[in-house]
Amino acid sequence: NAGVMQNPRHLVRRRGQEARLRCSPMKGHSHVYWYRQLPEEGLKFMVYLQKENIIDESGMPKERFSAEFPKEGPSILRIQQVVRGDSAAYFCASSSDVGEQFFGPGTRLTVL
């Protein structure tokens, strides 16, 4: 049973470009969570999605950030017009209805 997959593992963007981060949950999991980790800090919750629905986006910045989890395909975290402060590790986790959250290896975004 493959774990949570994230790609790309490393992403470099210049200021003003768009970043798209993908997350494929574990087989059988319908809940996806995105977290952001700045250097030397703990993970910060961003958004929780189920298929085709955003359930809780209380941790998402109000502008430039969006997330989706379509009926088919991976969950996407999209950052428009990236700035240097967006440089961080972005982790995706998935769970079944009542199970533990399992994390992917993360995507490390560097904004030049």
- Give me the residues that bind other proteins (CB under 8 A), please: 4, 31, 33, 35, 41-45, 48, 50, 55-56, 89, 91, 93, 95, 97, 100-106, 108
Residues 111, 87: Cα–Cα separation, whole Å: 6
Q: Give whichever of 19 and 48 is closer to other proteins, judged by the CB atom.
A: 48
Burial pattern 50-86, b for ≥16 Cβ within 10 A else e, equals eeeeeeebeebeeeebebbbeeeebbbbebeebeeeb
Q: Give whichever of 14 and 39 is closer to other proteins, judged by the CB atom.
A: 39
Nearest approach in angstroms of CB 7 to other proteins is 13
Q: Give whichever of 43 and 82 is closer to other proteins, judged by the CB atom.
A: 43
The sign of the dihedral angle between the CA atoms of 109, 38, 16, 5 is: positive
Nearest approach in angstroms of CB 104 to other proteins is 5
Nearest approach in angstroms of CB 33 to other proteins is 7
**What are the tokens at 7?**
């790609």
Nearest approach in angstroms of CB 112 to other proteins is 20
Q: Give whichever of 17 and 37 is closer to other proteins, judged by the CB atom.
A: 37
> Which amino acid does the sequence have at 76?
I
